[in-house]
Each structure stands twice: as structure tokens, then as C-alpha cells.
Amino acid sequence: MYDPRMLSLTTETENMRHTIEQQTNALNFLLKACNATMPLEQKSLLEDPQTRDAFKNMEYSASLLVHRDADSLLTRTATSITSSMQSFIFDPVLFSTHIYKQFMRGSIKKNLRKQQPGDLPEIASGKESQTLPSIIAATSLVVPLALRQGTSMRKISKKKMCFEQITLVLDWNTKEIRWHETRSLRVISLNDINDIQTGLDVRDYRLHYNLDPSLEAQFFTIVYRQSNKSEDKMLHLVVDDKAMFRSWTSVLKAISNHYQEFASSLVALSDKGMRLYWKDAASTQSQDESLLLFDHAKRALQKLNIRLDSEALRANFEDVFNIRGNTATIPEVDSYRYIDHEGFLRFARMMKVRKDIRYIYQTLASDTQKGLTIDEFHSFLVNEQGEDVDSDPSYWKQVFTKLGRNDFNGTSQQAIENQEPLRLSEFAFATFLTSKFNAPLLEHPAGATFDKPIHNYYISSSHNTYLLGRQVAGTSSLEGYISALVRGCRSVDVGCWDGSSGEPQVNHGRSTLTTSISFREVMITISKYAFVQSKLPLWISLRVYCNSMQQAFMVDIMKEVFGPRLLTETLEGSYDKLPSPYELTERILIKVKKSQIEQEPPTENVRGRQWDDKTMSSHDLSTANGESDIDENPRPRDKPTNIIKELGVLGVYSAGIKFSGFDAPESKRYNHILSFMESKLTKNQKIAVEVHNLRYMMRVFPDRTRVNSSNFNPLPYWRRGVQMAALNWQTFDIGMQLNHAMFDDGMNSSGYVLKTPSTRDIQVLPYNEDIAYGKRERTVVSFSIEVISAQQLMRPAYLRAGRSMDPYVEIEIYTSDERHEENSDTMLSTECNLPFRAQTQPVHGNGFNPMFNTQHSFRVLTLYPDLIFIRWSIKLYGEKSDDQPAVATYTAKLTNLKQGYRTLPLVNYAGDQYLFSTLFCKIKVDPIQRILVDPPPHVNHTNKFDAFRSIVFSRAKNIPERAVQWSDTETSFDGY
């Protein structure tokens, strides 16, 4: 089935990249076109060898557009050329560009004699074009014959670390590129190509595979998606023929670059796009192509991702027939109904009408024919959306004016002509509800200031940043760093090992099968992307397994690459305290183990301050000493080496130390940081962890058993004040989705979020007799979510052909309140606690605009109202959720969400946002309440510190599992 993303490429002269492969033929063609009337001096210049060299070096797009109709084929009269050039100052390159522009505009007329074979560069034959959908044939891509027949090139085998000779074929009929490899056929759909990398973007791969520098100009990488997998794959290729290299890269780049623009125009149902679809649909039937049958119209709409059951479509089809039948003669043949082109446009646009928004509009507008007045619009913003209009009335007036003037249904123009006040039509109101002016997240969340000491912030952190996949045999790549940094990550992880070339390399350890990349190239990449998304400080967490000489190289490389942005000494005024993120703007901080003489491990009786039998000892907590792989890869040869002084001093505000108790002198230095594997924190140590993190830094990273790079639940660690909950960013599971929601602030993610009040300051409450006798203060958060509708859900690849889409919406509420098992020694669950779930009824046979109209109310009793998260998941009825990923998801922190009617952007299994798939909801949050609750009966206050803690911290020692009672209308979600 034809995919609209694969419409042939539009070309722009401004994007000229490809040297003319058959410059002689092209030049001959231009000479024939101009020969009749061209001035002699210009002819002689064209025939001059230097001119021919200019043509040879002229760059132009490989995707020449030609029309299927031969009448528009690259012709123009010599007279037209002469007249257009009378005032043209001749320059060989400019002249060729001028002719090419006319060539591309289709303004050359058919007065040129018939060309002989070989006169023109290779183009797709008319017969081949006719086999393609007419939407492609109308703007056919000129695919060089060599690409269609197959081009010999070398593929880099990642496993064998050598070249394999292949023949790469671009099959335009099947929209695939394919090649044979070790007796198997490999295929990449053109739909799945994400990027084509060349030049500097592939330099690291060239270095990794030890390729000669001269090959860089012929080396390109195809980055493509894998069905239902979060990580991309890469195909590394070397093309010996430079012309073929340009052909392949220009065509594939054009495919990737033009997809979004074209897809947008299709989904917007532009007249141009719909005309092309009309031709495609009409060409599949044997009757008159000026009319269209229902079945063919249905297939055309399916290509627009308008997928409804036949009954609903037929009802709309009949409506169009009745409307058009009153004004046009449309035949009925054998009881079949037909519609013409105008009817087809109406038919498609009827599917696009937002009936859910129409209902809201009709309740707001006093006159639905004229539209919403500005007062009615402001009333809606204040009463329904919770917007503070009075704080910036001029902004909202500008929004209203812009929406009204951009209304294309004629209402605004008519109002302007009649000198009437501007109003918003239903169309303009729907545009507002789906626009950036009605974004679902607050642009400036509460507490979004960066002037407090840096230990008061949660920091968006990555672990194993260099890996694209699994920890055992995954690929190490610069892409991991680029992807994390452009998404707002502020702490990246670098595992450093001795390199065979004398310079250090980055990988996951000698005993794994992961590949390696150059430490220098990693630092260059980090420097390039460090502050693209956020200007706040970036931490580089180094795990060092290098010898002293290569450690010295590391220091030199970082100083050379980062320059003055690298923090090498304490800031003025911050000699004994941590500075704020604002003070460290655009600075790079190194987290590295302190330089010291290797010591014997502390004995089991080493303790810090006595916290009775719940003390956190060095035996209880094994840390990574700033080097997380000591826990992940406990192999003798992977043991971190001693850090040289020159490298250790770079840990200015993040010096990794070997843990020997919280009362040890090194644990009280302002600039230390502790690193723990997730499973090393036990429930008996939570208070000590929490007290430590009130003043100092801590990093937690995934367990070594997570070989598939899955993630832990960050919520319990945030609750304990851990600043860096480092996750595997290459896996977009629920842990990563919560992390994304935590740092998604509605603007460009800064990567820093102010910690909750209880995790950055000791809470001293005024004396209260109830609290003194054991009652606990809790917060009641009540809110409701009305799931109204979804729009343009993408059909998943795993859904078998002929199976209808039956979507429903599942809502999950995640909090940080503890629910561990009583007999568990683990402080925190390694997985996400089972959240509360509620769901809508499925809508059968409609993935285009399903209406759910279901409301759920929630009541959450919690210690941490700032750590409530909501995840919406679109799932398919009848499909096991464990077997297949959700069709789409969206996760947000409740305190970041705006209220009212909001359009939520949906993402796929890899975290990539869909272009047009959205969820329409109404969100309402009630004022929070604070109440006192009785402690659980099994709490034993035999310990003096526990009794003191109940007053100072107002926290329960143990928190039982929440009792959940819910219905379709109201849900009680209580946690102690």
C-alpha cells in the first residue's frame, strides 16, 4: 500500500548539492536549446573548456522533477532563452544556474527537436512511472539508472571489522533499498530512513574502523528505524565512485528531509495534495476517472490515515452524494454511488471536522454563526483553562487577533469589510485548542529558579551514554551523546579505557562485546552539543580504567577541547560551598574519583555516626567511588586504577570518594559526591541517605543485571533527595518516561528542577499535640481527567492486515510513596510500583478520530504532592500489552500540567513525537488539602531517633500498600 511519506521529492535550486553526472550530455542539451539565437560570443564561451569545467563543477539537486506529461519535458524555445538573457551578464556558472532554474520551473516549451537516446541524463521511463501511484507520477523523481539497477559498494561489517562487497539497489516500486548479504536478502524501507550522515558526522566511525582518511569523502551512513524497537540501526557504506556517492547521498537525503513537509501538507488536506490523491484513487477503477466509487474513495482516505468502519464512511459518502446531487449531475450506475473531485474534497474534510470541539464552541458562543467575541474568549481562558489573562492582557489580545485574521472560512474577512469587531469562528477556535498557544505544560513551573546551591536540584542524568543498545554486545557511538544532550541531559557518562593507539578510548569494558570510540571524539562531540538545549552546567561523569600516561592524555584533551568552559578551580566566593546552577552557566564540570594512594577496603566494623542498628556502613553500601562500573563489572581486570593528581583535581565540585560512613571526614566535605548502584540502598538506610542529600551530592545508577539497558524507577530516589538518578537513555521505558516528564518544563528543557521542599531543608513544624503523639501530616491531591478524543492514531506495524483498530486509553498515576514488601531488604523497588490504572471503553473500528468522553476522578493521599505523575497510553483492545508496546503514550508531572481543555502530544515506543497523533483531554485540579492521619498500627517507636523524626521530619517509618477503591466516576487513591 502506498505510503504518503514516499511521495517523490520536491527540489529547490537553493539545495544544489550534486555535480552533474553526465555533464557532456546536459551541456549538449543546453547547446541545442540555445543554438538558434544565442549570441556568438556566448556560444564560444559555452564551448570553451573552462566553461565546460564550470558546468562539470556546477552543483544541483539529484532529484530532478519532471512531469508525467511529455509536453512539459525540459523544453523552451530559443527565442525565450534569448529574450530572457538580453540583460543577463554572462557568467558560465550563473548562466548554467539560470538555465537550470528555467529547466526546473517547467517553463521550457516543446519547440526543441526530438532528443535522441543519450542526449539527456537517465530518467525513469514513462512505463515505469505509470506503475507508480499517480501521486508520484505527477511529480516523478528522476532516479538515476545506476541506483535502480544497483551500485557496487563496500559495506562495513561491525562483527568482522572488515569490508563486505555488496550491490545496493534502490527499488522505487517497492520503496526499499536492498542488498544480499551472506545468502540472505537485507531490506530497508525508505519510510524508515531517519538520517543520512556524511563528512564530519561519520568521522568517528571512520576512526573506529581504522579507515584511511581519504575514504571519508566516500563514506556515508544510513540511520534507520527498526520496527517496534527503540534504538536506531546504522548501515556504514563506502562508495568508490564519487559520482555514485553523490547520487546515493543526495537522493536519500532528499527523501529524509522532505518527508515532514510533505506529510504536513497531506494531513492538512491541501488542495494540491488532495488533487494528487484524487488522481491516485480514480486511476484504480476502470470507469470514468472524473468520478469516484465509494470503495475507491475509502482506499484513498486510508492512505491519509483516515480509518473508519465502512458504515460510518458510507454515511458520510451518502451525505456528500445528496449534497452534490442537488447541484450537479452525478450518475448512478448499477446502484453504485459516485462522487466527483469536489465531492471527494468535501468527503475527506467531513472526516476532519472536530465534533468534540464543536460542542465546546457551541456552549461558549452566544452567536455561533458570527463566532466568539473577545470577552467570551477571555472568559473561557479564565474559567475553563485557568489562565491568568489579567497578568498579560496584551498577549492574549494578540493571540485572539492572530487566530481571527488567519481564519480561512471568510468570517474574519467579512467582519473586517463590515467594520465589525473581530470574532473567532469554530475553525479558529479549534485552531487555538490544537496550537502552541494552548500548550499542555506550564512554561515557567513553580520554583523554576536556579540561584540556590546546586545540591538543591534534581539533575537530568544519563548512564552508559555511549551505548545505543545492550550492555553486553551493544554499539558504542557518538549518537548516544548527541541524542542525550539535545534532549536536555545535563550529566553524561564516559567509561575510559586504554586505547591501542596511545590515546584513551570509550567503551563498556574489555570483557564485553561492545565497540569502542575515541575519547577525543567523544569530548569534541560533547563540546559541540553541550549547551545546544540548555545553558546550565554540564557534568561529565568519568569512569577511569586507564594507565597514568593515558590519564594525562585525558587531561590534555579535555583542556584543549573545552578551553575556558572547563571548570578547573573553585569559583570566587564558593570555596567552602557548592555554587548555584546560574553561577555555573555554560561551564563543564568533571565528576571523577579523587586522586589518592590505593587503600585497603574498609573493614566491616567501620561505621560513621551511630544510627543504632540502622547505620549505613561501608559494608551495607558499596559505592562506585565515583566509578560506577566497579559494581557493574566486578572483574579483577576491570578494577578502576589510581587517579593521577592532574586528573583528580578536575573534580572541583564533584570529587568521587570511597564510602566509609556518613560521619567520616570525607563525607562531610562540601564538594564530594557518592555513587551507588540502585540495589545497594536498603530500607534501613533511607534516613541517612536523605539527611546526606540535604547538603551533599549523590548519584544512583542502574544495576549490573540490567543487561538489556532497562531502567529503574527514579521516583523513590528523587523522594530521598538523590540529585542524579542516572538512567539508560537509549531505552524509553517507564523509568525514562518519568524522567522525561520530570524535566519537561514546557519550554526548552533546562535539565534542572528544584527539589521538593522536604528534600532540601529540614522541616521543623510548629508544636502540635496530635503530631507529638504520632499523627502524620499528609497532603490530599484531588483532580479529574476527562478523556475526550484522540486524533489520527498511527496504525502499528504489528497489527495484522484486515484487523480493525479498536483503541482505548489507559491512565496511570505514579507517586513516590513507598509500597515495598515488609520482608524486603531493598530500600526501594527496582521497578516502578504498580500504579493506579483506569481506562476508557474501546472505540471499535476508528483509529482516526475516536471519541471516548470518559471522566475519571482521583484522590491521592501523599507525602510528596510535587512527585505525582500521570501517563496516558493508547492501547488496542484485544492485544496483550505485555506482547506489544502501546500505540502511543504521553507522560507528565501533575504540577507542570495546565488545566482545562488541552491537546496532548503523543510519542511512540522510542520517545519520538508523532507529527499529528494527539489526545484531547480536560484536566481539572482541586486546591490541595493538608490533613493529619493516624500512623499505621504496626509502627514501633522504640527508637529515640524515630520518635524525634516523627516530629522533625513528619514522616512514617513504614508505609503500607495503598488501599485503592475506584469506579468510573471517582477514585480514592490513598497512601500513608
Q: Hey, what's the cell of 533?
A: 538545549
| Residues 785-806: tens digit of each pLDDT | 999 999 989 888 788 877 888 9
Could you tell me which residue, 144 or 948, shows the higher pLDDT?
144
- Residues 6 or more apart whose Cβ sits within 8 Å of residue 294: 313, 314, 317, 336, 337
Residue at grid coordinates 555516626: 609
Could you tell me which residue, 427 or 522, shows the higher pLDDT?
522
| 245 band by pLDDT with thresholds 50, 70 and 90 | very high
What integer pLDDT is reported at residue 343 of this predicted model?
73
Which overall architecture, per CATH, does domain 454-757 show? Alpha-Beta Barrel (3.20)
What integer pLDDT is reported at residue 145 of this predicted model?
81
What integer pLDDT is reported at residue 705 of this predicted model?
86
Average pLDDT (672-679) is 91
Q: Hey, what's the cell of 808?
A: 482505548
Does residue 905 carry a pLDDT above 90? yes
Could you tell me which residue, 555 or 933, shows the higher pLDDT?
555
Which overall architecture, per CATH, does domain 769-974 show? Sandwich (2.60)
- Residues 6 or more apart whose Cβ sits within 8 Å of residue 213: 206
Could you tell me which residue, 395 or 665, shows the higher pLDDT?
395
Could you tell me which residue, 841 or 280, shows the higher pLDDT?
841
Average pLDDT (180-201) is 83
In the chain, what percentage of residues exceed pLDDT 70? 61
Does residue 951 carry a pLDDT above 70? no
Does residue 116 carry a pLDDT above 70? no
| Residues 272-321: tens digit of each pLDDT | 556 666 665 666 555 555 666 777 777 766 666 666 667 777 777 777 66
Could you tell me which residue, 61 or 163, shows the higher pLDDT?
163
Average pLDDT (880-890) is 81
Average pLDDT (578-595) is 95
Does residue 53 carry a pLDDT above 70? no
What integer pLDDT is reported at residue 25 of this predicted model?
45
Residue at grid coordinates 592532574: 646
DSSP 355-367: HHHHHHHHHH-S-
Rounded CA-CA distance 200/207 in Å is 11
Q: How many residues does the chain have?
A: 976
What integer pLDDT is reported at residue 742 of this predicted model?
95
Give, in words, the CATH class of 271-352: mainly alpha
Average pLDDT (21-28) is 43
What integer pLDDT is reported at residue 76 of this predicted model?
34
Does residue 939 carry a pLDDT above 70? no
What integer pLDDT is reported at residue 276 of this predicted model?
60
What integer pLDDT is reported at residue 230 of this predicted model?
56
Q: Hey, what's the cell of 936?
A: 499505621
What integer pLDDT is reported at residue 113 of this predicted model?
34
Does residue 858 carry a pLDDT above 50? yes
Average pLDDT (950-955) is 38
Q: Are 870 and 892 in contact (CB under 8 A)?
A: yes
Does residue 233 carry a pLDDT above 90? no
What one-letter code names the amino acid at 471? Q
| 507 band by pLDDT with thresholds 50, 70 and 90 | confident
What integer pLDDT is reported at residue 160 of this predicted model?
67
Q: Are 587 and 565 in contact (CB under 8 A)?
A: yes
Q: Of the candidates 944, 919, 863, 860, which has an alpha carbon nearest to the alpha carbon of residue 894?
A: 860
Q: Where are the beta strands (DSSP E) in 705-829?
A: 724-725, 752-754, 776-791, 807-814
Average pLDDT (504-520) is 79
Q: Hey, what's the cell of 361?
A: 464552541
CB < 8 Å & 24+ apart, contacts of 558-564: 558/523, 558/590, 558/650, 561/520, 561/523, 561/524, 561/527, 562/523, 562/527, 562/588
DSSP 543-603: EEE--HHHHHHHHHHHHHHHGGGB--SPPTT-SSS---TTTTTT-EEEEEEPP----PPPP
Give, in words, the CATH class of 145-267: mainly beta
Could you tell me which residue, 308 or 660, shows the higher pLDDT?
660
What integer pLDDT is reported at residue 111 of this predicted model?
33
| 267 band by pLDDT with thresholds 50, 70 and 90 | low
Question: What's the whole-number average pLDDT of the chain?
Answer: 73
Does residue 223 carry a pLDDT above 70? yes
| Residues 354-371: tens digit of each pLDDT | 889 999 999 999 999 889
| 408 band by pLDDT with thresholds 50, 70 and 90 | low
| Residues 535-553: tens digit of each pLDDT | 999 999 999 999 999 999 9
Could you tell me which residue, 827 or 176, shows the higher pLDDT?
176
Encode 664-683 in three state secondary structure: CHHHHCCCEEEEEEHHHCEH
Q: Are 628 and 493 in contact (CB under 8 A)?
A: yes
Does residue 515 carry a pLDDT above 80? no
What integer pLDDT is reported at residue 286 of this predicted model?
54
| 855 band by pLDDT with thresholds 50, 70 and 90 | very high
Does residue 665 carry a pLDDT above 90? no
Low-confidence winner among 24-28, 267-271, 496-500, 567-571 (lowest mean pLDDT): 24-28
Q: Where are the domains of the chain?
A: 4-141, 145-267, 271-352, 360-438, 454-757, 769-974
| Buried b / exposed e along 824-855 (16+ C-beta atoms within 10 A) | eeebbbbebbebbebbbebbebbbbbbebebb
pTM of the predicted structure, to 2 decimals: 0.71
Q: Hey, what's the cell of 217?
A: 569523502
Does residue 21 carry a pLDDT above 80? no
| 136 band by pLDDT with thresholds 50, 70 and 90 | very low
| 41 band by pLDDT with thresholds 50, 70 and 90 | very low
Rounded CA-CA distance 659/243 in Å is 60
What integer pLDDT is reported at residue 183 of this predicted model?
73
Could you tell me which residue, 465 or 132, shows the higher pLDDT?
465
Q: Hey, what's the cell of 615?
A: 547505620
Average pLDDT (839-852) is 92
- Pairing type for strands 900-907 and 913-925 reads antiparallel
Does residue 625 carry a pLDDT above 50? no
Radius of gyration of the chain (CA): 33
Rounded CA-CA distance 751/488 in Å is 5
| 448 band by pLDDT with thresholds 50, 70 and 90 | confident
What integer pLDDT is reported at residue 755 of this predicted model?
93
* Dihedral in degrees, nearest 10, Cα atoms 568, 573, 575, 581: -60
